[in-house]
Structure 1
Amino acid sequence: MCVGFFIALLDIQIVSASLQDIGGGLSAGADETTWVQTSYLIAEIIVIPLSGWLSRVMSTRWLFCASAVGFTATSLLCGWAWNIESMIAFRALQGFLGGSMIPTVFTTAFIYFEGQQRVIAAATIGAIASLAPTLGPTIGGWLTDNYSWHWLFFVNLVPGIFVAVVVPMLVRIDKPDLSLLRGADYVGMILMALFLGCLEYTLEEGARWDWFGDDTIRATAWIAGAAGVAFIWRSLTYGQPVVDLRALRNLNFALGCFFSFVTGIGIFATIYLTPLFLGRVRGFSALQIGLAIFSTGVFQILSIPVYAWFARRFDLRWLLMFGMACFALSMWNFTPITHDWGWEELLPPQALRGFAQQFAAAPAITLTLGGLAPARLKLASGLFNLMRNLGGAIGIAACATILNDRANLHFLRLAEHLNTANPAATDLLQRLEATAAAAAGGDAQQGHVAALKLLWSLTWREAQTLTYADAFMAIMACFIVATVMVPLMRKVVPPKAPPADAH
């Protein structure tokens, strides 16, 4: 199940470093190509909270099997896509059909394991949850550079078939209950799909289209708001809601969902920012970007046994607090970023982030879900995972807005100092003019124009770099708030033993 969990999460970011190659292969523009990632995210974020109800109807093993089969088949179709429209459609299906593999892993782990085994299981799942999106650009970049973008999807075929065959043979923890189809909250499902789908679209596309200055963004935001209010009201008043919002009455669960939200911001927003910086400012290729950010995954893997040792001996709340604080510190270490940062400069903050991810994700899973009764675990797990993905969507949208808005501000502030009263700026401009004039055959006027263009380009590069520091600072602030709130959590009280037929 963790194999399926890994490939479903990996595919969120596996295309991020290769969108330009996909667009070129399908003769699509940049605006269309972004939908290769957006369509997957929208579909996945809709199905994740539905997975608890679906697992009760179909049983965990058959839902997971169907999800793996659907994910594998649509992965093949994505690799065979003949134009951008077919790619977007297949990616949406891939996200929708494969999304159920994510929350069901959490549920199953807490049914299978008890005591210290539960801590190890949570550590494993937490590592995968943050490692898969981190490794996505690295694996995607390597596949694109060495083979072609088609292999971003074909790579899922072998593990997908393996999961679809083996999971039904091994996982028998519950039985299907088709009677739930009669009293299901279909109205709530429609409201939830409208709410999450429109919200995800608004967050993903808002920064590119000037937010509420665009008619479509304004319309989807209104629909998301109205459907969201109606969905919450429906979930709190209906007898058998599709998502168990009442679980938020449990303080640990409510706080855990908040920590899952913040962790989603940290994981997905940094994976968004770092490749973007390396591509736009440094001009790195897909493979170079992947290799530059690979260190995060390496250090997270190395931290797993360290976390397991501490988790057996210390209160998980303090490990969670330590992880959140280390994540904030890693973001602080990103803020001195300059235009010439490469893998060497990125290594220390990324290493600390990889270490922090393990200590932030794993204890939050145990503290949040470990105290819930098995009857509520399935529906609550969907909500917990939804919060992580929602945090990632909001984090990416906020960072994109910061990059758009702050770049112009930094450019104007830098430009104010580039005048005749600044000896360094004057000297640089004269040297650029001389070089450009020599290249233009001694034409001083042409050299002056070329020098001004180059000076503008250098100033814009530095302004862009400063905006990345602003974005990392904003993420740091989120983790500082989360760190302060950790002591509000209570020690987890283990639920009753699992039923006798769980084997």
Structure 2
Amino acid sequence: MASAAATADGDAPVTPDATSGLPPWPQLIGFLLMAFGMFMAILDIQIVSASLTQIQAGLAASADEISWVQTSYLVSEVVMIPLSGFLARALSTKWLFVLSSAGFTIASILCSTATSINEMIVYRSLQGFVGGAMIPTMYSAMFLMFGRGRQSGVSVAVSLIVTMAPTIGPALGGWISEVATWHWLFLVNIIPGVIITFGVWALVDVDRPNLPLLRRIDLIGLVAMAFFLGGLDYVLEEGARRDWFADGTVFTVFVIATVAAVIFFWRSLTVVEPVVNLKVFANTNFLFGGMLGAIVGIGLYGLVYLYPVFLARIALLSSGQIGATLWVTGLSMLFVAPLMGMLARRSDPRRVLLFGFLMLALSTWLTRGITDEWRFAQLFLPQVVRGVGLIACLTSISVTSFATLPMEYIKDAGGLFTLMRNIGGAIGLAMINTIILWRTNLHWGRLAESVNPGRPEVQAQVDALTALATEKGLADPEAAAMREIGHQVMEQAMVMAYADCFTVLSWLFVVFAIVPMFLKRPPTLASVAAAESH
């Protein structure tokens, strides 16, 4: 009776059906629509990223300007994600998701109508901010609807969505750009967005709003959080490309973000109603689970970035060919997802998480010997192992992180958990780009030293290339031969830098693999059922 009353007041999870252990079917359909909305939000980042060249040409933007199409979205999104916990408590889970989905759809229409780079940046900022609430709200809804015991089973489907969107995004974006104009990268969101918005509005009802909470919002803390997280994301996104603090803009933004961080943490720890409840991190499982989520973010977003960059720059594959090569990871996740879900439900999720990290380490270790001749066949096994590792981590990490968290912290935890994974992905991309630049220059210097025309094998290569240039009728065959040798040296230096990245990631995953065993064991479905029976 107590639980029923709580549910009526909107403060407790939806009461599951007595026979199936699931929410009522309308709620279940609504949850599936929310899951698809999360997929749409994650996918949008990837399909746009794969087609920036077409957008650049359509808007007559420079190379520096076009990067802001992604940066503006990510900076705005990273501000909304932690704020979503406060808004979910004030507006309710249902209405926050409905407003987020509707706003995302409207912003997508605006993006498709952009006629200048400035308009696109404004519209993408709006799209990232309003759509940023869908992902963390989905995690909160999962917990509220299914409870602790069944969370591990549901997390399998959610994990597939989180991983499949970045996997198929680049190929899908490239295909859309090839068969249609870049405007359709945004127009494809309209029909799904409308269906999701009205479907969630009609079917989902898991809690009640607390509108008076909006009058107590900490505006100083909100502004400080925006400058802190937005600045941090900008530094991570642009730092490697702009030589970090040697660039005046990056350094200035870093200083502003640091000052804003101090103000944000001070307000969050002292005001009565902070915009982000940092008390969530007092829970050991959630604190270290969030850290592990950041490392998984590196494995998810970092490797999704690293493989296509190698295949495009070194293998010279098209976006369609790259997508066909990377599909192996998605297929392996689909095949092993049921097994990982069963293990997470019936065994210790911490062991599944340990296994997942070791598989990620193995997948990158298998790639440490990469050469310029690697294609689909050579990357097949590492990608299969990576898929197994990712699905093992993602199906168990949310279960482990939320296992001992009090119910009143769930909504704030959903936003912070998503934020940690996104920040981890941003750190991973910054780390990968920095390693590639640093190690490429290092290997270039060492290889260039060995390219001495006085060596017989080098002179033979120069002569062969000179003869080839002469046959093609080039104006300066010897200069053309030296340029080709320089290109070959640079290509080999880049391949060696990629190998260094994979090695670093391998050790990173190994170091963090042991962390799950120090956390409290989450309850299994059987233990929850036994507790409820008593």
TM range (shorter): over 0.9
1:40 to 73, 87, 93: 73
Please state if 1:93 is matched with 2:145: no
Please state if 1:285 is matched with 2:318: yes
Alignment of 1:263-342 (within 5 A): 263-342=296-375
Deviations 1:365-388 (A, max 9, x none): 011123222211001111111000
Greater shift in the superposed pair: 341-350 or 91-100: 341-350
Code of the residue aligned with 1:298 in structure 2: it is: L
1:480 to 500, 503, 510: 510
1:159 to 192, 206, 225: 192
Deviations 1:202-228 (A, max 9, x none): 111111111111111110011111111
Alignment partners' CA distance in 2, 1:87 and 1:54: 27
Find the residue that maps to 1:15 and give its secondary structure.
helix
Code of the residue aligned with 1:348 in structure 2: it is: L
**Cα separation, partners in 2 of 1:493 and 1:314, compared to 1, 3 Å:** closer
TM-score normalised to structure 1 length:
0.94
1:242 CA drift (Å): 1.5
2:254 to 195, 217, 221: 221
Please state if 1:111 is matched with 2:144: yes
Please state if 1:193 is matched with 2:223: no
Alignment partners' CA distance in 2, 1:140 and 1:150: 11
Conserved? CA contact 1:242–1:379, under 8 Å: no
Identity %: 42
Please state if 1:459 is matched with 2:489: yes
Code of the residue aligned with 1:426 in structure 2: it is: Q
Deviations 1:398-446 (A, max 9, x none): 11111222211111111111114543322212211222233338x8xx2
Conserved? CA contact 2:344–2:395, under 8 Å: no
Conserved? CA contact 1:244–1:383, under 8 Å: no
**Cα separation, partners in 2 of 1:408 and 1:115, compared to 1, 3 Å:** closer
Please state if 1:418 is matched with 2:451: yes
1:2 CA drift (Å): 0.2
Find the residue that maps to 2:448 and give its secondary structure.
helix
Partner of 1:501: none
Alignment partners' CA distance in 2, 1:237 and 1:179: 20
1:135 CA drift (Å): 1.9
Code of the residue aligned with 2:318 in structure 1: it is: S
Alignment partners' CA distance in 2, 1:49 and 1:335: 36
Conserved? CA contact 1:369–1:381, under 8 Å: no
Alignment of 1:55-454 (within 5 A): 55-114=88-147, 116-420=149-453, 422-440=455-473, 446-454=476-484
Deviations 1:342-374 (A, max 9, x none): 233222211211111110112010111232222
- Provide the alpha-carbon RMSD of the alignment: 1.9
Conserved? CA contact 1:144–1:152, under 8 Å: yes
1:494 CA drift (Å): 8.6
**Cα separation, partners in 2 of 1:28 and 1:284, compared to 1, 3 Å:** farther
Find the residue that maps to 1:200 and give its secondary structure.
helix
Conserved? CA contact 1:236–1:245, under 8 Å: yes
Code of the residue aligned with 1:447 in structure 2: it is: P
Find the residue that maps to 1:97 and give its secondary structure.
helix
Conserved? CA contact 1:5–1:105, under 8 Å: yes
1:54 to 75, 79, 87: 87
1:101 CA drift (Å): 0.5
1:115 CA drift (Å): 5.7
1:10 to 29, 38, 43: 43
1:19 CA drift (Å): 1.2
Alignment partners' CA distance in 2, 1:393 and 1:13: 14
Alignment partners' CA distance in 1, 2:203 and 2:372: 51
Alignment of 1:480-499 (within 5 A): 480-492=510-522
1:336 CA drift (Å): 1.7
TM-score normalised to structure 2 length:
0.89
Structure 1 alignment gaps of length 5 or more: 498-503
Alignment partners' CA distance in 2, 1:169 and 1:449: 70
Deviations 1:154-207 (A, max 9, x none): 111121111100101111111111110222222111111000011111111111
Deviations 1:6-51 (A, max 9, x none): 1111112112221111111211122111111111111111100000
The count of aligned residue pairs is: 494
Structure 2 alignment gaps of length 5 or more: 1-33, 529-534
Conserved? CA contact 2:153–2:345, under 8 Å: no
Code of the residue aligned with 1:98 in structure 2: it is: G
Deviations 1:241-284 (A, max 9, x none): 21121121111111100011101111111112122222222222
Alignment partners' CA distance in 1, 2:334 and 2:217: 41
